């Protein structure tokens, strides 16, 4: 305690004799100056666009219009919630897709991680191969899946016919398109959840497992009553990442269906893209983005709260 | 505080610049004094064009630009972008109002009204009628009359049309012969033939056209026109619920549902070309542009076996959309005359003939009738195209409104719904309401 006080008292005394007034000013304000550039960059790159988007969302503005943005108050939001025939379907599609994607990738990821954590010959190779779908470029993979799902020449329908099943329309029917997209999404993103679960499993302490086994628990009981509770925080993190990613899904849907057939697979992100970059309707797109942002922020906060309670 | 030496430099600089300016102003260059057309009149100027990627922009014009620069002394920046990026880039530059763009391309059926309302087009009439700006050899009369209509938006001539396209019926001669089916002349025969030629167990289908949302609007158009319908009524309101339009929508959806390949709702023009080239379908209707690709044995299994015909006629005749990209001078340009010189040169008799030699359809009659063009493409295709031209509806690939992409998306959704089996009347009513709303909001 004593040393600490003297330390504080002595430091400015030592700095005073040397240096000009500017140097002393810098010295005094170092804690503001050093993070300054980072804070300014953050403000410029993140806060400004956000605020500007919110500002634009209260205006009507087409990028090709001769006039600048016209203030319309909350009209964009009224239109969006009350009259837009594409918003609510896109909203529901986004939620359904996200729920499906999170559940499938987390459950499969946990299962596969559980297999890969065991010691067996070729484990390194298996782990590497497992990661491949995640490394590949989503657009290229979406095109490959498109070819495989082609109703006339695709290999998937041929495989179905080999086991005596009727052909599927895959992404070419409003009824099956979401399931088909979820198949691709799951294939592409399960490796990520596997990786997270593997890390979580590897970091678990050994003692609870040993004592459980000494107490005669079956491996199923160990999984449900020891592994899962211990892994809860990890699983929530995996779900959080996947939720944010899946809510924002764009590449595979855009490449494979462009939101079709009709608007059957149009997600919010895709609708925002069409509105801003194809229709050049920037005011309305901004309103959509604000709602979309609120949705993602809300979902993230919810999951973070779940994670806190898990500690 | 300037030192004496620095002020001397400034004075000298001003003197040099002043002298240069005086020389430029005094340079006597009366356009009429020369016997021929004065191509050098705007020598030293610079023009910048934003253009859409296409064989014409990439392979005909780009390599020839040094010739133009030599002829006129005008420097040209020729910036090529893929279609979507092209529109975004153009919008950003034009909205900033910097005047840095001197000319641009536009697909008038798609962009025309929006660009016109935004005031981006420089009206072309006064340039064409001024002999000091337009050489006597140019001859705008040489362009097919209907193609000149493509470059006319709301009665205003806004540019020069480049490479027109109509829709044609592509059919497999060998299959028609083997199954003893005649080439359909009417809409009824068309549907009949499609049914007869479909052989689902063998994965062979009678007819394909676009089924994908926005894209399908283009190929639906002749079905509406041939029964006597139009996209818009006289007041510019959607006419999608007229009996003719509903009948067209119904026929189109039914033909694709019953005689089209599975998954047709995901078929864009590229898939139409694939299915035809792979020999999976007997008939296709799409843009006339695909002939080179169908006749190329490296890309097409059916090269040499294809027939070309006009779209079969309905009670109101046979009408297809007639569309083309056009090249225009920007109303914001500071070098409009120089930019017009470039447009004039790029669409001159000689350059259009070069385009024809590369098998790109042309809007000039002289180049169309040239032996090089006539000899390079199948006779049947040439005949079908030329017959379709006078009856084509300029720019009617979709309702010509300000907000084309939105409008096409909602009409496209109706097409998908009908293909999926929904009643055409319900789908048309829904689209009618949505299009009316879009027009109200944007016009």
Taking the domains of chain A in order of start, what are their residue ranges?
77-310
Confidence of residue B231 (pLDDT cuts 50, 70, 90): very high
- Closest to B132 (Cα-Cα) out of B24, B44, B41, B45: B41
Chain B positions touching A62 (Cβ under 8 A) are: 442
Strands B152-153 and B156-157: antiparallel
Q: Let me know: does B360 contact B324? Beta carbons within 8 Å.
A: no
Q: Let me know: does B288 contact B363? Beta carbons within 8 Å.
A: no
User: Across-strand partners of B47?
Assistant: B76
pLDDT, average across residues A161-174: 87
Q: Let me know: does B361 contact B377? Beta carbons within 8 Å.
A: no
Closest-CA distance, B277 to chain A, in angstroms, reads: 13
pLDDT, average across residues A201-225: 89
The pTM assigned to this predicted structure is 0.83
- Considering Cα of B125, then B109, then B339, then B143, what sign does the dihedral take? negative
How far is B244 from B246, CA to CA, in rounded Å?
A: 6
Chain A residue whose CA is closest to B84: A278
Chain A residue whose CA is closest to B266: A172
More confident residue, A71 or B17: A71
How far is B419 from A21, CA to CA, in rounded Å?
A: 79
Q: Which of A66, A151, A280 has its CB closest to that of B263?
A: A151
| Chain centroid offset of residue A143 CA | 22
What count of other Cβ atoms lies within 10 Å of the Cβ of residue B242?
18
> Is B275 touching A (CB cutoff 8 A)?
yes
Chain A positions touching B406 (Cβ under 8 A) are: 279, 281
Q: Which of A172, A262, A277 has its CB closest to that of B413?
A: A262
Could you say which DSSP state residue B182 is in? P
Check residue A66 and give its pLDDT.
66
User: Which of A175-184, A227-236, B25-34 has the weakest average pLDDT?
Assistant: B25-34
Q: Which of B95, B263, B416 has its CB closest to that of A64?
A: B95
Q: Which of A169, A258, A279 has its CB closest to that of B406?
A: A279
How far is A234 from A192, CA to CA, in rounded Å?
A: 12
Residue A280, CA distances (Å) to B95, B304, B403 in order: 12, 44, 9
φ/ψ (deg, to 5) at B141: -65, -20
Structural tokens at position B359 = 């098998």
How far is A173 from B238, CA to CA, in rounded Å?
A: 28
pLDDT, average across residues B337-341: 95
Confidence of residue B15 (pLDDT cuts 50, 70, 90): low
How far is A104 from B65, CA to CA, in rounded Å?
A: 56
Q: What is the DSSP string of B188-234?
A: HHHHHHHHHH-BGGGTBEEEE---SHHHHHHHHHHHHHHTT--SB-T
User: Which of A162-176, B185-199, B353-367, B393-407 has the weakest average pLDDT?
Assistant: A162-176
Q: Which of B261, B413, B416 has its CB closest to that of A152?
A: B261
**Percentage of chain B lying above the pLDDT 90 cut:** 81
**Percentage of chain A lying above the pLDDT 70 cut:** 93
Complex-level ipTM beyond the 0.95 threshold: no
Report the SS3 class of residue A76: helix
Check residue B30 and give its pLDDT.
38
User: Across-strand partners of B204?
Assistant: B199
Structural tokens at position B382 = 């040439």
Confidence of residue B268 (pLDDT cuts 50, 70, 90): very high
Tokens 């199954």 map to which residue? B179
Q: Is the pLDDT of residue A4 over 90?
A: no
How far is B193 from B185, CA to CA, in rounded Å?
A: 10
User: Cα-atom radius of gyration of chain A, to the nearest Å?
Assistant: 27
Strands B306-310 and B46-52: unpaired
Tokens 């944010």 map to which residue? A244
Chain B residue whose CA is closest to A63: B91
Chain B positions touching A257 (Cβ under 8 A) are: 266
Could you say which DSSP state residue A294 is in? H
Strands B321-322 and B393-394: parallel
**Structural domain spans, chain B:** 33-164+323-380, 167-322+394-442
C-beta atoms of A274 and B409 within 8 A:
yes
- B267 torsion bin: left (phi>0), alpha (psi -120 to 50), beta (else): beta
φ/ψ (deg, to 5) at B49: -115, 135
Check residue B426 and give its pLDDT.
96
C-beta atoms of A63 and B213 within 8 A:
no
Tally the residues of chain B. 443
How far is B191 from B195, CA to CA, in rounded Å?
A: 6
pLDDT tens for each residue of B125-155:
999 999 999 999 999 999 999 999 999 999 9
How far is A274 from B409, CA to CA, in rounded Å?
A: 10
Closest-CA distance, B410 to chain A, in angstroms, reads: 8
Q: Which of B199, B263, B406, B435 to mutate to test the interface with A (most CBs of A within 10 A)?
A: B263
Q: Let me know: does B137 contact B37? Beta carbons within 8 Å.
A: yes
pLDDT, average across residues A67-88: 87
Close Cβ partners of A287 (under 8 Å, ≥ 6 residues apart): A57, A76, A77, A80
Tokens 């010189």 map to which residue? B341
- Considering Cα of A87, then A89, then A93, then A96, what sign does the dihedral take? positive
More confident residue, A28 or B385: B385
> CATH: 1.10.150.120, 1.10.3720.10, 3.40.50.620, 3.10.20.30. Which one for A77-310?
1.10.3720.10
H or E element at residue A38: helix A36-42
Tally the residues of chain A. 311
User: Which of A1-10, A156-165, B317-326 has the weakest average pLDDT?
Assistant: A1-10
| Chain centroid offset of residue B99 CA | 25
C-beta atoms of A169 and B263 within 8 A:
yes
B33-164+323-380 and B167-322+394-442 in the same fold? yes
- B13 torsion bin: left (phi>0), alpha (psi -120 to 50), beta (else): alpha
Chain B positions touching A270 (Cβ under 8 A) are: none
Q: Is the pLDDT of residue B270 over 60?
A: yes
Chain B residue whose CA is closest to A69: B95
Check residue A310 and give its pLDDT.
54
Q: Let me know: does A266 contact A89? Beta carbons within 8 Å.
A: yes
**Percentage of chain B lying above the pLDDT 70 cut:** 92
C-beta atoms of A279 and B405 within 8 A:
yes
Check residue B3 and give its pLDDT.
53
What count of other Cβ atoms lies within 10 Å of the Cβ of residue A3?
7
C-beta atoms of A66 and B94 within 8 A:
no
Structural tokens at position A214 = 């000494």
pLDDT tens for each residue of A83-106:
888 999 999 999 999 999 999 999
pLDDT, average across residues B246-261: 96
Chain B residue whose CA is closest to A65: B118
Check residue A277 and give its pLDDT.
85
How far is B227 from B24, CA to CA, in rounded Å?
A: 62
Could you say which DSSP state residue B143 is in? B
Structural tokens at position B276 = 């035809």
**What angle, rounded to 10 degrees, do the helices at A155-162 and A138-149 form?**
50
Confidence of residue B16 (pLDDT cuts 50, 70, 90): low
Q: Is the pLDDT of residue B33 over 90?
A: no
> Is B203 touching A (CB cutoff 8 A)?
yes
> Is B96 touching A (CB cutoff 8 A)?
no
- Closest to B154 (Cα-Cα) out of B189, B130, B121: B121
Q: Is the pLDDT of residue A9 over 80?
A: no
Q: What is the DSSP string of B334-385?
A: S-HHHHHHHHHHHTSHHHHHHHHHTT---SBHHHHTSHHHHHHS-HHHHHHH
How far is A300 from A241, CA to CA, in rounded Å?
A: 9
Structural tokens at position B19 = 């002298």
Q: What is the mean pLDDT of chain B?
A: 90
> CATH: 3.90.470.10, 2.160.10.10, 3.40.190.10, 3.40.50.2300. Which one for B167-322+394-442?
3.40.190.10
Q: In what order do the strands lie in the sheet with B167-172?
A: B205-208, B281-287, B167-172, B306-310
How far is A308 from A311, CA to CA, in rounded Å?
A: 6
Alpha-helix runs per DSSP H in B73-144: 83-96, 108-118, 125-128
Q: Is the pLDDT of residue A110 over 90?
A: yes
Confidence of residue A135 (pLDDT cuts 50, 70, 90): confident
Confidence of residue A21 (pLDDT cuts 50, 70, 90): confident
Most confident of A304-308, B228-232, B357-361: B228-232
- Considering Cα of B433, then B435, then B437, then B443, what sign does the dihedral take? negative
Check residue B17 and give its pLDDT.
54
Chain A positions touching B118 (Cβ under 8 A) are: 64-66
Give the CATH number of domain B33-164+323-380. 3.40.190.10
pLDDT, average across residues A235-247: 91
How far is A235 from A109, CA to CA, in rounded Å?
A: 10
How far is B103 from B330, CA to CA, in rounded Å?
A: 5
Close Cβ partners of A250 (under 8 Å, ≥ 6 residues apart): A267, A269, A270, A273
């Amino acid at each position: 305690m004593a040393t600490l006080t003297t330390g504080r008292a002595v430091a400015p005394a030592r700095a005073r004799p040397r240096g000009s007034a500017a140097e002393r000013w810098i010295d005094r304000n170092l804690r503001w100056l050093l993070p300054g550039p980072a804070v300014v960059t953050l403000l410029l790159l993140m806060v400004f666009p956000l605020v500007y988007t919110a500002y634009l969302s209260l205006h009507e503005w087409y990028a090709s219009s001769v006039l600048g943005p016209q203030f319309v108050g909350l009209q964009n939001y009224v239109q969006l919630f009350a009259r837009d025939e594409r918003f609510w379907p896109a909203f529901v599609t986004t939620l359904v897709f996200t729920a499906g994607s999170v559940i499938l990738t987390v459950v499969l990821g946990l299962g596969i991680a559980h297999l890969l954590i065991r010691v067996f010959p070729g484990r390194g190779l298996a782990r590497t191969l497992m990661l491949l779908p995640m490394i590949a470029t989503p657009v290229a993979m979406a095109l490959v899946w498109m070819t495989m799902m082609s109703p006339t020449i695709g290999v998937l329908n041929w495989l179905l016919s080999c086991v005596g099943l009727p052909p599927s329309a895959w992404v070419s029917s409003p009824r099956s398109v979401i399931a088909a997209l979820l198949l691709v999404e799951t294939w592409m993103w399960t490796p990520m959840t596997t990786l997270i679960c593997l890390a979580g499993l590897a970091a678990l302490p050994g003692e609870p497992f040993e004592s459980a086994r000494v107490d005669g628990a079956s491996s199923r009981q160990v999984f449900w009553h020891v592994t899962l509770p211990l892994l809860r925080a990890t699983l929530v993190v995996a779900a959080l990442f996947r939720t944010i990613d899946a809510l924002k899904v764009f590449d595979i849907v855009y490449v494979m269906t462009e939101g079709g057939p009709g608007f059957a697979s149009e997600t919010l992100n895709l609708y925002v893209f069409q509105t801003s970059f194809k229709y050049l309707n920037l005011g309305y797109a901004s309103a959509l983005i604000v709602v979309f942002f609120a949705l993602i922020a809300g979902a993230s906060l919810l999951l973070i709260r779940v994670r806190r309670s898990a500690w | 505080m300037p030192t004496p030496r620095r002020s001397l430099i400034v004075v000298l600089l001003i003197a040099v610049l002043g002298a240069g300016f005086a020389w430029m102003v005094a340079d006597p260059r009366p356009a009429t004094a020369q016997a021929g057309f004065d191509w050098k009149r705007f020598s030293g100027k610079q023009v910048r064009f934003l253009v859409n990627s296409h064989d014409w922009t990439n392979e005909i014009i780009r390599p020839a630009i040094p010739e133009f620069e030599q002829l006129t002394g005008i420097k040209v920046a020729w910036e090529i972008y893929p279609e979507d990026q092209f529109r975004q880039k153009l919008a950003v530059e034009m909205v900033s109002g910097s005047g840095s763009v001197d000319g641009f391309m536009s697909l008038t059926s798609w962009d025309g009204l929006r660009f016109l309302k935004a005031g981006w087009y420089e009206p072309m009439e006064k340039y064409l009628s001024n002999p000091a700006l337009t050489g006597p050899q140019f001859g705008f009369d040489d362009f097919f009359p209907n193609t000149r209509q493509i470059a006319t938006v709301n009665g205003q001539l806004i540019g020069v049309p480049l490479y027109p396209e109509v829709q044609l019926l592509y059919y497999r001669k060998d299959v028609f012969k083997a199954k003893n089916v005649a080439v359909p002349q009417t809409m009824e025969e068309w549907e009949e033939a499609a049914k007869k030629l479909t052989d689902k167990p063998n994965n062979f289908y009678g007819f394909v056209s676009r089924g994908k949302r926005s894209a399908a609007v283009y190929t639906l158009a002749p079905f509406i026109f041939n029964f006597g319908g139009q996209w818009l009524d006289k007041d510019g309101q959607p006419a999608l619920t007229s009996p003719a339009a509903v009948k067209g929508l119904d026929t189109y959806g039914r033909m694709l549902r019953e005689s089209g390949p599975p998954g047709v709702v995901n078929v864009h023009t590229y898939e139409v070309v694939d299915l035809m080239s792979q020999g999976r379908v007997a008939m296709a209707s799409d843009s006339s542009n695909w002939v080179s690709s169908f006749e190329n044995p490296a890309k097409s299994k059916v090269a040499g076996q294809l027939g070309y015909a006009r779209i079969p006629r309905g009670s109101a005749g046979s009408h297809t959309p007639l569309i083309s990209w056009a090249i225009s001078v920007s109303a914001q340009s500071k070098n409009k005359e120089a930019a017009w010189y470039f447009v004039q040169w790029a669409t001159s008799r000689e350059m259009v003939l070069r385009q024809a030699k590369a098998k790109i359809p042309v809007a000039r009659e002289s180049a169309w009738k040239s032996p090089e063009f006539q000899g390079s493409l199948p006779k049947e295709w040439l005949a079908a195209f030329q017959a379709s031209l006078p009856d084509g509806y300029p720019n009617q690939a979709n309702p010509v409104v300000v907000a084309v992409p939105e409008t096409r998306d909602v009409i496209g959704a109706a097409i998908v719904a009908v293909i999926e089996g929904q009643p055409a009347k319900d789908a048309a009513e829904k689209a009618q309401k949505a299009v009316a709303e879009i027009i109200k909001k944007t016009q």
